[in-house]
Amino acid sequence: MKRIALLLVLCLTVCASAEKFKGLAPTPPMGWNSWNTFAMKIDENLVKETAEALIASGMRDAGYNYIVIDDGWEAMERDKQGNLVPDPNKFPGGMKALGDYLHSKGFKFGIHNCAGTKTCSGFPGGRGHEFQDAITYASWGVDYLKYDWCYHGTANAEETYRTMGNALYATGRPIVFSLCEWGSNKPWEWAQDIGHLWRTTGDITNCYDCQETYSLGWKYILKSQIGLEKYAGPDHWNDPDMLEVGNKGLTLAESRAHFSLWCIIAAPLMAGNDVRHMSNDVRDILTNKEVIAVDQDPLGKQGYQYMDHPGKQIWVKELSNGCWAVCFFNNSDEAVKLRINWANFPFLAGNYEIRDLWEKKNVGTTAKNFEGKVDPLDVILVKLTPVKKAEDSKK
């Protein structure tokens, strides 16, 4: 009876005043998600081993602080009171204990469910149980909810996600709300007051140039982000889906380019590889703090495609303190040579120091043309920092 009474109080509260928690995602969230590598083959031990690997690899300290358990954690039925319960074989210790463990290791606890009657893998969905489930998540110490869009029937997306957002807010526990609606109903136009990030496409898969029924290579996902930059900012981010960096199907160059461009477009950085068994090269991509800083820049602007020529895409991102990030992406099958005249970039003002973020070294200033070679499906990523004038340095 107490739980029913609490549900009624929560419903009445949000009907009077609905609002999302603010300030939870001033920069795009970073973390790890189980789906891309493990799908439903998840359990308590995997999550704990992943947490330890994120610590040992330096990823936690680089900013990957959310561990999100995706579809497949639930039992096939709710309990007699209608509550979600974890699969007792996969998660025998329960979700509260697992959340406590992750918090003790310096992580935040994320979980998945669905706005429909079932999740995409057929487990109990949240439709009709939004306030009840929100109380459950809060009691487990959940910090992040990824909410999918399978089995939604004729439901209105904005109304459905607003209901769940209201339910989370009513619990009083700050929970980042990730709308995984696949961009079907243009959530960038209406979700800013509901959630902290929203998917803009279908699922990513572990390739550059491929298209399947329900999944896309990152080439197509990147292209679909063009024009969406005006909708992103602190606490409201476009989400082009998780990272495939380090997964079989991508070369090292493709992984580096994928990561660079996701940072340029201020994407949430959710690693999707098996971090327990990754190469040093993959670790070095995922933990390059100078590249991550482009994604996490406090100005909170999403980058955009500035130029698209055969073999040479140029993507740019305005950064804080007058800086810019510029990514030269070779989307061809042959190496290309760059000869960049910075005078052709009208958004630049004055002279800038150029730092190559993958080579981790300064390479001159914009007073001279920039030259370089870019291998197929690889990038050169630079940060431009204004050169201080002598009179400025004396102030």
- Pairwise CA distance, residues 24 & 196, whole Å: 8
Tell me if residue 148 is catalytic.
yes
Ranges of beta strands (E only) in the chain are 30-33, 66-69, 108-114, 144-148, 176-179, 197-199, 203-204, 215-216, 237-239, 269-271, 304-309, 312-318, 324-329, 336-340, 352-356, 361-365, 370-374, 379-386
| Packed helices 157-171 and 130-140: angle between N→C axes, nearest 10 degrees | 40
- Pairwise CA distance, residues 231 & 236, whole Å: 8
Q: How many CB atoms lie within 10 A of CB 144?
A: 27
CB 32 within 8 A of CB 68: yes
Nearest to 120 by CA among 112, 132, 108, 110: 112
What single string gives the DSSP state of each residue in 104-154? HTT-EEEEEEESSSB-TTSSB--TT-HHHHHHHHHHHT--EEEEE-TT-TT
Coil/strand/helix, residue 24: coil
Tell me if residue 87 is catalytic.
no
Q: Tokens at residue 159, please?
A: 């109304």
Q: Tokens at residue 188, please?
A: 């960038």
* Residues in CB range of 180: below 8 A, 6 or more apart: 146, 147, 148, 149, 198, 199, 239
Catalytic residue among 87, 100, 203, 356: 203
Catalytic residue among 70, 133, 143, 148: 148
Active site amino acids: 148, 203
